[in-house]
């Protein structure tokens, strides 16, 4: 039976977010037959059918008396994990999400892989352990097996109908979106959409990587100066204000989540949007099957002038709950199921993700979707950026007032004065940074005058 805390959490989530709660921590009664339950949470939807099948096969065939219970969450994953930790109901294994990881890693909530890894595991995955990414202060918390970056996804049929090529600059993108809406809105077809119900979710996959490329500044932080500076975001935000205006955008973007947006794109009603390269192939193969022909291009910037590499993210990592009463069993599930190289090979070949594991790369063939759309892969224009101060330790950079994402949304939707809002945002973030340093909650990231945003390594 579900514990009282877990039942309360389930009811809260059902009322507040409308999601289905799939089970919490593993020190619950064992399954029928005395099997040890290991709870695994994921936020991915694009690979859910694949993972459910693999979990079912593992449960039916493993000789270790283990049963994996897979819980799936999407836009509510971070909130769900936060509530679960507050009530002591977090699962044994959690899918790595940057926001979840950065919020909880400094609170000692994830197990260190270091004493669990044997020589064989290190031989396969050792090249994927990096300081300040998944190894923090000498402790390894997850292994990324895939990577993803952001691209502009577009409907080829719509572009062909209006006689346009995919845009190479932000100016071309705005003009194309306007022409498409002007020409086809009578058919319910619009030039652009973005999932703006959560400004962070919508803009972190779109505007943020655009700024990486345009300014060589990551999430407002200038590594060359060691300070935050949002003042250069104005031209991009002006274009976004036009893109998301009623004259261009798919109606209701301000309340749109990513999956409803994808369903409309699959139906041929949206010409362009930004998202992640690891997810969209699986989305349109199984979650929202579509007959529309689509492709991807590099994220356009003003004038096509690129000053920085676009950040890419490591994905498909799994973290083990430090509070789990079954860490050794959870590690076995992780190694035998989630980090199984045969599974990872099939995952890559089905177009569900872009592998980073050398052993898998050597024996796998890229999915046709990746061969046909090479811009979806990690390219020389992408780079793994260092963590900004607020990413490295969120408790050390506590910003008073609206955060960057909500400030951007206020400029786009609420007619906030861009120059004043961005100057104020810069002041507030630098004030928070200095306060964290003064209180010895965090240390300043060393400024480097020679920092090269095209090769963003400190």
The mean-pLDDT minimum among 166-175, 201-210, 442-451 falls in 442-451
Cα separation, 183 vs 166, whole angstroms: 17
In 3D space, the residue among 366, 358, 356, 380 whose CA is nearest the CA of residue 134 turns out to be 356
The mean-pLDDT minimum among 80-84, 103-107, 232-236, 423-427 falls in 103-107
Cα separation, 164 vs 8, whole angstroms: 53
Query: Regarding predicted confidence, which is higher, 70 or 98?
Result: 70
Rg (alpha carbons) of the chain, rounded to whole number: 22
Region 111-119 average pLDDT: 98
Sign of CA pseudo-dihedral 168, 173, 175, 177: positive
In 3D space, the residue among 403, 375, 408 whose CA is nearest the CA of residue 239 turns out to be 408
Percentage, residues of the chain above pLDDT 90: 80
Record the tokens describing residue 271, joined without a space.
């010409």
Sign of CA pseudo-dihedral 419, 421, 424, 429: negative
DSSP H stretches of helix in 253-309 = 258-266, 280-282
What does the pLDDT read at residue 335? 98
Q: Which residues contact 437 (CB under 8 A, 6 or more apart)?
A: 396, 443, 444
Percentage, residues of the chain above pLDDT 70: 92
What does the pLDDT read at residue 458? 59
What is the secondary structure of 316-369 as a DSSP string? --EEEBTT-TTHHHHHHHIIIIIT-HHHHHHHHHTTS-EE--HHHHHH----HH
CB contact burial 169-190 (16+ within 10 A = b; e otherwise): ebeebbebbbbbbebbeeeebb
Cα separation, 131 vs 148, whole angstroms: 19
Tell me which long-range contacts 171-178 makes (C-beta under 8 A, separation of at least 24).
171/239, 171/302, 171/303, 172/300, 173/239, 173/243, 173/272, 173/300, 174/239, 174/242, 174/243, 174/248, 176/271, 176/272, 177/243, 177/248, 177/271, 177/272, 178/242, 178/247, 178/248
Per-residue pLDDT reduced to its tens digit, 310-324:
999 999 999 999 999
Q: Is 335:118 a contact under the CB 8 Å cutoff?
A: no
Q: Which residues contact 357 (CB under 8 A, 6 or more apart)?
A: 124, 125, 128, 145, 341, 344
Region 16-26 average pLDDT: 41
β pairing state of 310-311 and 382-383 = parallel
Q: For residue 339, what are the CA distances in angstroms to 12, 267, 336, 343, 437?
A: 33, 35, 6, 8, 38
The mean-pLDDT minimum among 345-354, 388-397, 400-409 falls in 388-397
3-class DSSP state for residue 301?
Answer: strand
Cα separation, 277 vs 35, whole angstroms: 38
- Work out the burial of residue 248: count CB atoms within 10 Å of its CB; fewer than 13 is exposed, 13-18 middle, 19 or more buried: buried
Q: Is the pLDDT of residue 302 over 80?
A: yes
């Amino acid at each position: 039976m579900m514990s009282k805390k877990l039942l309360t959490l389930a009811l809260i989530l059902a009322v507040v977010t409308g999601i289905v709660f799939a089970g919490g921590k593993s020190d619950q009664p064992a399954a029928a037959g005395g099997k040890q339950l290991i709870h695994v949470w994921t936020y991915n939807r694009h690979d859910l059918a694949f993972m459910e099948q693999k979990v079912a096969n593992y449960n039916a065939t493993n000789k270790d008396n283990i049963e994996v219970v897979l819980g799936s969450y999407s836009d509510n994953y971070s909130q769900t994990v936060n509530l679960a930790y507050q009530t002591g109901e977090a699962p044994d294994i959690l899918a790595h999400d940057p926001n979840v990881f950065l919020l909880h890693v400094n609170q000692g909530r994830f197990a260190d892989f270091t004493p669990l890894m044997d020589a064989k595991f290190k031989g396969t995955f050792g090249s994927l352990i990096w300081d300040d990414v998944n190894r923090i202060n000498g402790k390894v918390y997850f292994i990324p097996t895939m990577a993803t970056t952001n691209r502009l996804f577009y409907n080829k049929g719509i572009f062909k109908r209006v006689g346009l090529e995919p845009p190479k600059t932000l100016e071309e993108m705005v003009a194309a979106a306007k022409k498409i809406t002007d020409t086809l809105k009578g058919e319910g077809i619009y030039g652009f959409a973005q999932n703006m119900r959560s400004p962070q979710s919508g803009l972190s996959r779109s505007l943020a990587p655009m700024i990486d490329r345009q300014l060589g500044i990551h999430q407002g932080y200038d590594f060359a100066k060691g300070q935050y500076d949002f003042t250069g975001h104005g031209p991009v935000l002006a274009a976004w204000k036009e893109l998301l205006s009623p004259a261009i955008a798919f109606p209701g973007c301000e309340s749109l989540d990513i999956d409803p947006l994808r369903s409309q794109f699959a139906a041929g009603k949206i010409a362009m949007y930004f998202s992640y390269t690891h997810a969209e192939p699986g989305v349109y193969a199984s979650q929202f099957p579509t007959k529309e022909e689509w492709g991807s291009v590099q994220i356009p910037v003003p004038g096509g002038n690129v000053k920085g590499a676009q950040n890419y993210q490591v994905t498909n990592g799994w973290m083990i709950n430090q509070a789990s009463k079954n860490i050794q069993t959870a590690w076995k599930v992780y190694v035998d199921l989630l980090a199984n190289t045969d599974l990872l090979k099939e995952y890559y070949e089905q177009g569900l993700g872009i592998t980073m594991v050398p052993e898998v790369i050597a024996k796998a063939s890229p999915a046709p979707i990746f061969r046909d759309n090479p811009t979806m892969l990690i390219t020389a224009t992408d780079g793994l950026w260092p963590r900004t101060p607020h990413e490295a330790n969120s408790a050390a950079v506590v910003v008073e007032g609206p955060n960057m994402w909500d400030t951007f949304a206020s400029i786009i939707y609420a007619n906030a004065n861009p120059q004043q809002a961005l100057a104020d945002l810069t002041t507030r973030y630098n004030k928070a940074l200095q306060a964290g340093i003064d209180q010895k909650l965090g240390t300043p990231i060393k400024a480097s005058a020679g920092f090269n945003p095209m090769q963003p390594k400190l």
